[in-house]
Structure 1
Amino acid sequence: MKRGKRLAMLAMAVLLGTSLLMPARYNASAQAAAPEPEASAACRTDDHGLDLQTMTDTDAPHIQAIQFLGATTGRAAGNGFMIGTSDGGCHWQAIYNTGKLSFSQMEFLTNSVGYVLAKTSATKQNTLLKTTNGGSGYTWVPTGQYGFERIDFLNEQVGYGFTRAFTFKTANGGRTWTKVTTPPNSRYVHFITEDKGWVITVLAAGGYEVKRTTDGGRHWTDSLKVKAAVNYGGAIYGTDSSDIWVMLYGDSGMSQTSYSLFHTTDAGAHWKQVISHPTAGGGPAPGAVAPAGTLNGPAGRPTDMAVIGRNAAFLVAGSGALDTLQFGRSLDDRTWSNLPIAVPGYEAKLSFISPSTGYLAVTSLSKSGVYRTTDGGKTWLKRFSLPEPR
């Protein structure tokens, strides 16, 4: 290793505090023994007395990512901090609070080992980091010239890093990366296993094509073609290679985005359009025009989706023109329901651990906080909130 690169890595390690230990109150044995919260009256809803650091003095602390490993064990992270809970959000403590990292994604594989995407300054691209002590300290994982927009690790050794145009794979925990062959004009790739994956591609004449691979990307076959006036991209969700949800975006305007949601339960042999959501500002939704009012999804712009097993899908949307987030779900692949959520904010992330229990993090600059549901999103109880920006 060249001397300059070695010094850079040492400097990064010092900056991120890799010698720090995980807080004593936040450990794997504590998580296993933590009881299920029963009464919301016993849970705090404020900032739990945490003085969270941010990257600059002008930043207001706000949550940007959330991940729960079980009904009680979870983390939320933002622009300079990471916090954790071992009792379903009733109590939170600081795990990382130096203000030096702004977290955008967490991929914890166990309560100790995880990968994160974070920035060391607002003007730099994402850095990939690994923790083996629950998130209090990190080591740098080199990714060459690329700053990943998204990561997905199947286990501690095998993972994927994504830019807008390219997909990279590591089989040794990030020591080396190889480019995965994807079709031209790929916009979103999702691998369920090392062999089985899906991709959204955009067509030159407008519209989308969804393809799948069963050999790690060496060959891709057509699965779904959708007409659309524009093709700004989309997202793929699912934990089973034959059970996949595909979100496709239309145009945006007036704080609204048109979008459609498609679902397959047989590896793409058949697709069902679950949502067709045109808007006044965004125009028609991708795909066939549905009768008015029959396939509407949550209003605004989709900000995150969570899928649990087969058929259970949850979607949150928001808009700067709306005072509350919008939420919907499907539990049977036959019906989609939009539910009154009554949670303030216009952007959010989801982390569901079962069809009934899930967490929502409001990632808006204001009203940032964490909410919990135990009835599949019918009702939400606040578990944490950050002070409003001054």
Structure 2
Amino acid sequence: MDRSHNRGSSSYRLWLTTASLFVMLFVLAACGSGSGGATNPTPGVTATTTTTSAATASPTTAGPASGSTGAPTKPKVPLIDIRMLDRMNGWALTKTQILKTADGGLHWKDVTPSASPITSQAVGRFVDANHAWVVNALENGDSVTIRRTIDGGRSWQATTISSMAPNVIDPPHFINMQEGWLEIVGSPGAGNEQAEIWHSTDGGLHWSRIYTTAQPGKYLTNEGFKSGLSFKDALNGWATLSSDTGNSLNSGLYVTHDGGKSWMRQAIPEPQNIDAIGTTPPVIFGNTAILPAYTSTNGQQKLLLYVSHDGGESWAPTTPVALQTSNVYVIDPLHIWATEVQTGQFFYTSDGGKTWQHSASGPGKIQALSFTDTANGWAVTESSLLHMANGGSWNVINYSIQ
């Protein structure tokens, strides 16, 4: 998402899997408000752990990355995520590979660390041509591995942390090359999800758990389905919920002013006569921020954007648009794209969500979007990679992997 949550970038990409979020909204609206949920101890600590975790992890170094210039072509497999840095250079993930391109996506080099392969649960944060983080949970396990490269994938350093059995991992959020946060979310149940927040100050080589929703408290708890984190600086950040057990009076927006060690609920103006509302992490550009939100009323789903011009202290909503979206991509405070879940139709705004236009040319049902500017974008479907150049139509890229 940043573009993927890289606050130093002038443009920012936000991945949102809101098709599943809307399903959660309906389930939670039917369930009514919950009472919190289980507070079982997480591995390594008790349920009464303080906000400063004693759990830490140290790195190991993986061997040389596989793949090299001129290597034989490998079997072509579908991409599941993409992050283009400019019109030529970018990163991508398959279910088992970390890839790089230097020609706009036509050819991809496999830079997966040979001694530490990934699985389909991997998520990535790709900042520039040299720096990237890929996080992977072991299936049916209670550990998470964070891999880091600072040389464009030629070598990787891997750190494994002990955690609860993860169901969802939010890609790490770094405000610079050293300091970042990671949210690990457990399996949902009865309107609840346990989550842990981990913190690194050395570029992801070591991590300490600083917060768990299983600890007693009245703020960010197990209640509600978690949708991610976003940080403005070392102290100020947000945690969001796709829904807070169907309580239309709570949009699921929480704020921290101490780097994630404690959280409080932040109120925002909400539409009237809604059954449920959820938010996803704000996209931040200095003191301006865009907060996507999703509502449901009598089965009708809408997208609206909250805008802040004072660093997130206050938020003002745009007019909701009737759109069940699966992807929202924010490149700057004015230019935002969204795709419709069922039809794959493409919508965009050039005035920060005040008005929306429908594009005659859409990429179809997509899994991921990446834009480098307002006219050039890439889209990943279940089987294809598409490219839009200079604001024109979407064309399939017949890519290869080496």
Identical positions, percent: 15
Q: Which residue of 2 aligns with 1:102?
A: 119
* Shift of residue 111, structure 1, vs aligned partner: 1.6
Residue 134 of structure 2, aligned match among 105, 113, 116: 116
TM-score (ref. length: structure 1): 0.66
* Shift of residue 73, structure 1, vs aligned partner: 0.5
Q: Which residue of 1 aligns with 2:163?
A: 145
* Shift of residue 349, structure 1, vs aligned partner: 0.8
Residue 387 of structure 2, aligned match among 355, 359, 372: 372
1:351 and 2:370 aligned = yes
* Shift of residue 163, structure 1, vs aligned partner: 2.5
Q: Aligned partner of 1:327: which letter?
A: F
Q: Aligned partner of 1:216: which letter?
A: G
Q: Structure 1 239/359 Cα, relative in aligned 2: closer, same or farther at 3 Å?
A: farther
Residue 330 of structure 2, aligned match among 288, 292, 307: 307
Q: Which residue of 2 aligns with 1:51?
A: 75
Residue 340 of structure 2, aligned match among 284, 300, 317: 317
Asked if the contact 1:80–1:97 (Cα under 8 Å) also holds between the matched residues in 2, the reply is: no
1:216 and 2:240 aligned = no
Q: Which residue of 2 aligns with 1:65?
A: 81
Q: Structure 1 213/242 Cα, relative in aligned 2: closer, same or farther at 3 Å?
A: farther
Asked if the contact 2:144–2:162 (Cα under 8 Å) also holds between the matched residues in 1, the reply is: no
Paired residues for 1:125-274 under 5 Å? 127-135=145-153, 137-146=155-164, 147=166, 149-150=169-170, 151-164=172-185, 165-174=195-204, 175-180=206-211, 183-184=220-221, 185=223, 187=226, 188-201=228-241, 202-203=243-244, 206-207=247-248, 208-209=250-251, 210-217=253-260, 218=262, 220=264, 222-226=266-270, 228-230=274-276, 233-240=278-285, 242-250=287-295, 258-266=301-309, 267=312, 269-274=314-319
CA deviation string 1:354-384 (max 9, x = no partner): 222222122x2xxx222222345x5222224
Q: Aligned partner of 1:171: which letter?
A: T
| Distance in 2 (alpha carbons) for counterparts of 1:203 and 1:318 | 22
Asked if the contact 1:239–1:307 (Cα under 8 Å) also holds between the matched residues in 2, the reply is: no
Q: Which residue of 2 aligns with 1:34?
A: none
* Shift of residue 264, structure 1, vs aligned partner: 0.6
* Shift of residue 339, structure 1, vs aligned partner: 1.6
| Distance in 1 (alpha carbons) for counterparts of 2:113 and 2:201 | 31
Provide the secondary structure at the position in 2 that maps to 1:236: coil
TM-score (ref. length: structure 2): 0.65
Q: Structure 1 96/352 Cα, relative in aligned 2: closer, same or farther at 3 Å?
A: same
Q: Structure 1 159/25 Cα, relative in aligned 2: closer, same or farther at 3 Å?
A: farther
* Shift of residue 199, structure 1, vs aligned partner: 3.2
Provide the secondary structure at the position in 2 that maps to 1:140: strand
Q: Aligned partner of 2:369: which letter?
A: L
* Shift of residue 306, structure 1, vs aligned partner: 1.8
* Shift of residue 257, structure 1, vs aligned partner: 7.8
Asked if the contact 1:106–1:115 (Cα under 8 Å) also holds between the matched residues in 2, the reply is: yes
Structure number with greater CO (CA < 8 Å, separation at least 6) is 2
Q: Which residue of 2 aligns with 1:383?
A: 397
CA deviation string 1:108-150 (max 9, x = no partner): 2332221112355587775322223423553322333144611
1:84 and 2:100 aligned = yes
Q: Structure 1 219/161 Cα, relative in aligned 2: closer, same or farther at 3 Å?
A: closer
Q: What is the number of equivalent residue pairs in this alignment?
A: 311
